[in-house]
Amino acid sequence: MTAPFTYPDRPHGRRHGPVGYADYTSYRPWLRDEFAFRCVYCLRRETWGRVFGEFAVDHFLPVKHRPDLTTVYTNLLYV
């Protein structure tokens, strides 16, 4: 039986590095491209057309513990 997904053998290397946004959700277009329009948790891919409310931006290190990383691009994930 083959696996439904092929998981990489090393951590994801970031291709983009935008800075300066005051709100972390403003990074959404960059993150969509960064993670190939897929949720980093379940690997579900966006479908063609408008997708509202299904995908979000999450923090790798929680804001509760690291509020200084709230708008740091490398701490954001597309989920």
Angle at 33 between CA 2 and CA 66, to 5 degrees: 95
Tokens standing for residue 16:
């983009």
| Mean confidence (pLDDT) of the chain | 86
* Mean pLDDT on 11-29: 87
Segment 21-66, tens digit of pLDDT: 999 999 999 999 999 888 988 888 887 656 566 899 999 999 999 9
Q: Do 34 and 78 contact (CB within 8 A), yes or no?
A: yes
Amino acid (one-letter) located at 10: R
Token couple for 62: 């929680």
